[in-house]
Amino acid sequence: MVSKEQITAVSNGLLVRAPAKINLSLLVAGKRPDGFHEIETVMAKVDFYDEILIEQGPKGRIELVCNGLYPSPPGKENLVYQAAKLLLNSSGELADIKITLTKNVPAGAGLGSASSDAAATLIGINQYLDFGLPNRQLAKLAKQLGSDVAFFLDGPLAFCTGKGEKIKKLAKKFNFLAMLILPNVSVSTKKVYANYRHNQPLYEKLNTQINGYIQKNRIDLVSKMCVNMLETSCFSLYKELAELKGEIESLGIGPLCLSGSGSAMFCMMDGTDEERAGENARKLKQQVGCKSIIVKNNRW
């Protein structure tokens, strides 16, 4: 996929791209007093995007139009609408905005698509209406919308803790090529966390190893561990994903890692051999019939 800029001026407004993310690692540290789980995850944006067109809309309201390959909730239920409303209310502006959301990234896949859409909406409206708000102010709004939203406001790689809202940007660039597997399965993050059974000794062992690699700027070694402590919970609920992983790995393409709470999985490709990666994707399509795309790390 060709690398693109996040914001493009078009004749009738701004086109904003909302990148998907993958979790290069995901540890669960335990359950918090508020009922949520404490996580530690290395997240990386990839060059696979939803698109948000922002333009002049009907007087005094926000109009949201949803289209694309995948369904998205309409109106006030959509995080894009909520992000627009929150930003406009905080600035004291009346809403005269039309937003067209084109869904290319599936929801319920562990790719952060709704969170990324919300962040892209904050970024886009901030520029379209010349608010000039710095990222730190947008981040405060982002935290009200969801745990992952703030991650998408900044650089392409970060170490995220808490519920995912505490973000430490990783300055070291990590270039990669990956095959992203997109099963036709929508996973409930809530159910996966509710089904999770904590393994403290395993967490402590992985935490020590991963933090050691991060301190040495060896994100490549983090990704090679292929660690996601939600995988067991996800696969026990969605057994077809466990079967799919085994079937794909039997082709010899490489180990598959679960992204987020699933259902998407990814396989890191050696080097930057896009031709070989494409051959693997065709092999997967022919022998398994599962949809996949080749992605790279996003630049922004």
Catalytic residue among 21, 45, 245, 296: 21
In the predicted structure, residue 43 carries a pLDDT above the cut 50: yes
CATH code for position 282: 3.30.70.890
Query: Where in the sequence is the domain holding 264, given as residue range(s)?
Result: 177-296
Regarding whether 210 and 96 lie in a shared domain, the answer is no
Q: What is the mean pLDDT of residues 223-248?
A: 97
Regarding whether 204 and 151 lie in a shared domain, the answer is no
Domain boundary among 169, 193, 227: 169
Band the pLDDT of 279: cuts 50, 70, 90: confident
Q: What is the mean pLDDT of residues 3-7?
A: 88
Q: How much is the pLDDT for 278? A: 85
Regarding whether 97 and 218 lie in a shared domain, the answer is no
Regarding whether 219 and 117 lie in a shared domain, the answer is no
DSSP string, 222-289: HHHH-EETTHHHHHHH-HHHHHHHHHHHTTTS---EE-TTSS-EEEEESTT-HHHHHHHHHHHHHHT-
Q: What is the mean pLDDT of residues 258-266?
A: 98
Q: What is the mean pLDDT of residues 243-255?
A: 94
In the predicted structure, residue 143 carries a pLDDT above the cut 90: yes
Domain boundary among 169, 185, 210: 169
Catalytic residue among 47, 50, 117, 148: 148
Regarding whether 165 and 183 lie in a shared domain, the answer is no
Q: Give per-residue pLDDT as tens, 179-219.
A: 999 999 999 999 999 999 999 999 999 999 999 999 999 99
Is 158 contained in some domain? yes
Q: What is the mean pLDDT of residues 140-146?
A: 96
Provide the number of structural domains found in the chain: 2
Has this prediction a pTM greater than 0.85?
Answer: yes
Regarding whether 237 and 266 lie in a shared domain, the answer is yes
Q: What is the share, in percent, of the chain residues with pLDDT greater than 70?
A: 98
Q: What is the mean pLDDT of residues 275-300?
A: 90
If you average pLDDT over every residue of the chain, what do you get? 94
Regarding whether 226 and 144 lie in a shared domain, the answer is no
Band the pLDDT of 93: cuts 50, 70, 90: confident
Is 1 contained in some domain? no
* Catalytic annotation present for 148: yes
Q: How much is the pLDDT for 72? A: 93
Q: Give per-residue pLDDT as tens, 59-69.
A: 889 999 999 99
Q: Are 167 and 160 in contact (CB under 8 A)?
A: yes
Count CB-CB contacts under 10 A for residue 225.
15
Count CB-CB contacts under 10 A for residue 273.
12
Regarding whether 276 and 228 lie in a shared domain, the answer is yes
Domain boundary among 148, 169, 190: 169
Band the pLDDT of 296: cuts 50, 70, 90: very high
